[in-house]
Each structure stands twice: as structure tokens, then as C-alpha cells.
Amino acid sequence: MSNILEWKGPNRKFDLVKEGAITLGAVLALVLVASFLFRVPDEKAVTFRSWAAAAPSDFVTTAVAELNGSSDIAGYGPPYNHTPAFQKVGSFSPQKLGGVTIPVDTATDFVLAPLATMPGDAQLTKALAAYEQAPAKTQADWGTSYGDALAAAPDNNPAKVKAGNYGPVPVLSQKLLAMASNGGLDNALPAGTTNALLFIGDGGYLGTLADAQLLAGDHWGMVNSSGNFPGQFWLIGFSYWYQINPFKTSDNADVLAFGTLGLLTLLVLFLPWIPGVRAIPRRLGLHWLIWWPYYRDHRQPVKK
């Protein structure tokens, strides 16, 4: 005998296409309204020209750091250069596994090569020749001395730097600032290219904009878009670890955060095969809370 019961109630016609069209229209209207109310501001891209205009001292300081090798990218290691990798756990460094796949020489790629594209400037030509003909140690001494002098100057203002033996570095940095101010550097290092992103990221100006838009680390910026607008919420699993110790104070924060998330992911994947751990939900009785209507209706009577 079939267990299927025949419907004895009233019937009425149902237009599936009509109902689907109405539903689709309602959802589309809601999406359009929500996208207007909760849209993310379309902020203008940061360019070398805007950076030079808004924070010229920061630009010059960063340019000198790229020239003397003291910037973050210059000392980052793989995949940009052969500087010893600092992201590691014990003696193991995942940063070294891929090697140098995007070679970057900050002095040449960010400063000297762009300046070499500027024709008809006798002072610049002389400064470039003097710098490139000097021994590497002399170049380093010039760059380091001028970088220290900039750091000691009021507001890091190049105009207030004390006199010293800086070689052609002051001229090179000022010429690069002028090149950025007139838009020439944006042509030499186009927006969106790796070198442009790395150079701008080394400066303090971009971080200031991020703070203003609540996109810094202490604002959970990895999971935000501009301001308070929601962004990549699926990155919460990564971003969370950067907010607590010892992750947020460690030089190996990236390795520790990704390693911790990787271990947790493996734990979830292999949970059905881990004795004891896999029985925790059953022992806690969580299934009774979730499926209580089923157990209410199918509870076996107690035999006397």
C-alpha cells in the first residue's frame, strides 16, 4: 500500500513564470536600492603627483630611503631581492621558498632609471654621472648621511637640512620631487604597476590616507572598504590574528597568522578522523538543541 496521501483540498492555478518574474523584479529593486544606500565611495587613486603635492617632505624622505637601501622594500627579501628574509619560524622561512621572482632594485628602479628619462637638465645629468661613477660604499655613505640629516631636520624638510657631505643625493631627490610634481614620474612608473605600488607603499602618505579611511590594521582594515563600509568579510579569519598578541607585535606576524589559520583549517578537515575530538559535539548534546523538534516527535517511549 502506498504511503502517499491524496490531496482532498481545493486547487487553484499557479503561474510559475509570473511568480518568478515578480520575485526577480523585487530582488533586483532591493539590490539597486541597497547598492545606492550602502555604496562604497569612489576614492581617487593615489599618484606620485598627488603624493608630491600633499606631502613633499615625505616623498623626498622615501626617495632617499629607496636610494640608500633603508626602505621596507629594499630590505624585504624574496620575492623582491636577495636581502635575508625575516619572515620565518625558527630556521624555516616560507618567504624564501619561491625565491626572487619579482626582482626590484629600489635605487635603480625607483630613482635613477626614472631620472635618466628626463632630458635637457645639465645639473641632473652631472648629478647622475657623479653618483653612478662613485664606489658603492661612497654611494651608501652619501645616502645614509643625507637620510639621517633629513630625519633630524624639522618636519623632515629638505630645506632645513644641515650642511654635510651628501654628494649628489640632495640634487637627485629634489629632481625626483620635481618630476613627481609635474606628472613625469607617473609616466615613468605608471599607476598599477608593481614598482609604482611598492614605491608609494614605502612612504608614510599612503598610511595617513588609510588611517583617515579607517583602513589601518587597528581598524581591521583588511576587512573594510573605504570608511565604515563593509569589505572582504571572508578575510576575517586572517585579519583577526593581527589584532592580538603575540601576532600584532611580532616581526613574523604574516607567517604566524597564516600558519595558525592553516593548522585550524587542517583541524576542521580532519575532524571526523580525530578520536575524542570528533565526539565532543555528541557528548555536549548539541544535536538535541539543533534537532529538538525531531527528537520531540520521535522520542521512543520508555519500556516498563
Confidence of residue 303 (pLDDT cuts 50, 70, 90): low
State residue 148's pLDDT score. Answer: 95
Judged against a pLDDT cut of 80, whether residue 70 lies above it is answered with yes
State residue 154's pLDDT score. Answer: 93
The alpha carbon dihedral of 133, 134, 136, 141 has a sign of negative
pLDDT tens sequence across 240-278: 998 888 888 888 888 889 889 999 999 889 988 888 888
Mean pLDDT value across residues 208-236: 83
Q: Which three cell numbers stand for residue 15?
A: 503561474
What is d(CA 55, CA 62) in angstroms, rounded to the nearest whole number?
Answer: 11
Coil/strand/helix, residue 173: helix
State residue 34's pLDDT score. Answer: 87
Judged against a pLDDT cut of 90, whether residue 202 lies above it is answered with yes
H-state helical runs in the chain: 16-37, 48-54, 56-68, 106, 113-115, 122-133, 136-152, 169-181, 184-188, 194-202, 205-212, 236-239, 253-269, 280-284, 286-290, 292-298
Judged against a pLDDT cut of 80, whether residue 230 lies above it is answered with no
Confidence of residue 221 (pLDDT cuts 50, 70, 90): confident
Judged against a pLDDT cut of 60, whether residue 280 lies above it is answered with yes
Cα distances (angstroms) measured from residue 59 to each of 64, 83, 180, 248: 9, 24, 9, 27
Note whether 226 and 215 are within 8 A (CB): yes
State residue 299's pLDDT score. Answer: 67
Judged against a pLDDT cut of 90, whether residue 213 lies above it is answered with no
State residue 136's pLDDT score. Answer: 94
Q: What backbone phi and psi angles, to 5 degrees, belong to 11? A: -120, 155
Among 235, 279, 273, which residue's Cα sits nearest to residue 257?
235
Residue the block writes with cell 595617513: 208
Judged against a pLDDT cut of 80, whether residue 86 lies above it is answered with no
Among 51, 67, 49, 206, which residue's Cα sits nearest to residue 150?
67
State residue 274's pLDDT score. Answer: 87
pLDDT tens sequence across 165-194: 999 999 999 999 999 999 999 999 998 899
What is d(CA 178, CA 125) in angstroms, rounded to the nearest whole number?
Answer: 15
Answer with the residue of higher pLDDT: 214 or 86.
214
pLDDT tens sequence across 101-117: 999 999 999 999 999 99
Confidence of residue 29 (pLDDT cuts 50, 70, 90): very high
State residue 264's pLDDT score. Answer: 92
What is d(CA 260, CA 249) in angstroms, rounded to the nearest whole number?
Answer: 16
What is d(CA 19, CA 52) in angstroms, rounded to the nearest whole number?
Answer: 58
Q: Which three cell numbers stand for residue 48?
A: 606620485
